[in-house]
């Protein structure tokens, strides 16, 4: 199991504000995510600008694609994204088409898990070639009080066992990390916990230090 990465999620409504946070944090994270809100307000320019600002980072287009997998993957990877998200509710044909384009472009697809998905779906995604999924408490679910619990961890373990690497998100702080010790975590995704902190690089360091303590150097 490799050491989890740290991903900065940018859910700003303005590219300028997002890029200010990137300037502060790019040296302290492994992955920079053009969040859905940012992409819907700023368009493809958000992905392009982040690629330019962070030539050496993994860039994620968090588009939660539900359809038109080929066209959208061409747009995302063409603009410089390394990974693109597809929503679990998407038809399998969309996943397969997105994955085909990803492979051709040297990119990867991440399945975004929301609502009613099943382990059979996860096995089908794996069979198309997809190797990543994102597990989260949504912002709204989180705000309405939903906590990380045994049920979440059991589902994550089952997804790991299928062969999917998981990125984990939803109000995660460094103190939460030991919860995920048994899981094949690709990345921890933090947005406001990082960018909204008084000293963002310090919080990033706290994440890395916890990750090293739990998963080793």
Binding interface with a copy of itself (CB under 8 A):
11, 13, 36-37, 39-46, 63-72, 75, 87-91, 93-94, 97, 112, 114-118, 121, 138-141, 143-144
Residue nearer to a copy of itself on the CB measure, 43 or 196: 43
Q: What are phi and psi of 206, to 5 degrees?
A: -65, -40
Helix (H) or strand (E) holding 33: strand 31-34
151 included as an active-site residue: no
Q: Is 212 exposed, middle or buried (0-12, 13-18, 19+ CB in 10 A)?
A: exposed
- CA dihedral sign, ordered 131, 135, 140, 143: negative
* Residue of 6, 37, 81, 195 marked active site: 37
Residue 134 CB, nearest approach to a copy of itself (Å): 11
Residue nearer to a copy of itself on the CB measure, 94 or 167: 94
Please check whether residue 81 is in contact with residue 34, taking contact to mean a CB–CB distance below 8 angstroms.
yes
* Residue of 46, 72, 81, 90 marked active site: 72
Residue 16 CB, nearest approach to a copy of itself (Å): 13
Residue nearer to a copy of itself on the CB measure, 44 or 214: 44
Among candidates 162, 153, 155, 106, which has minimal Cα distance to 132?
A: 162
CA atoms within 13 A on the CB side of 152: 17
DSSP assignment letter at 66:
-
97 included as an active-site residue: no
112 included as an active-site residue: yes
* Residue of 112, 189, 194, 211 marked active site: 112
* Residue of 136, 137, 186, 208 marked active site: 136
* Active-site residue list: 36-37, 64, 67-68, 72, 112, 136, 139
């Amino acid at each position: 199991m490799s050491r989890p990465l740290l991903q900065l999620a940018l859910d700003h409504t303005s590219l300028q504000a997002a890029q200010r946070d990137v300037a502060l944090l790019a040296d302290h994270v492994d992955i920079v995510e053009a969040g859905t809100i940012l992409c819907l307000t700023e368009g493809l320019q958000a992905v392009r600008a982040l690629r330019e600002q962070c030539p050496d980072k993994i860039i994620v287009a968090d588009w939660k694609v539900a359809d038109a997998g080929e066209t959208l993957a061409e747009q995302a990877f063409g603009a410089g994204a390394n990974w693109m998200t597809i929503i679990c509710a998407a038809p399998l044909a969309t996943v397969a088409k997105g994955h085909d384009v990803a492979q051709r472009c040297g990119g990867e697809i991440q399945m975004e898990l929301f609502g009613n998905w099943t382990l059979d779906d996860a096995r089908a995604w794996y069979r198309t070639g997809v190797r990543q999924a994102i597990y989260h408490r949504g912002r709204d679910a989180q705000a309405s009080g939903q906590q990380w619990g045994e049920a979440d961890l059991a589902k994550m373990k089952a997804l790991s066992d299928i062969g999917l690497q998981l990125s984990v998100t939803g109000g995660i702080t460094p103190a939460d990390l030991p919860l995920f010790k048994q899981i094949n975590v690709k990345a921890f995704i933090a947005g406001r916990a990082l960018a909204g902190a008084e000293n963002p690089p310090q919080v990033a360091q706290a994440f890395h230090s916890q990750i090293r303590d739990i998963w080793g150097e």
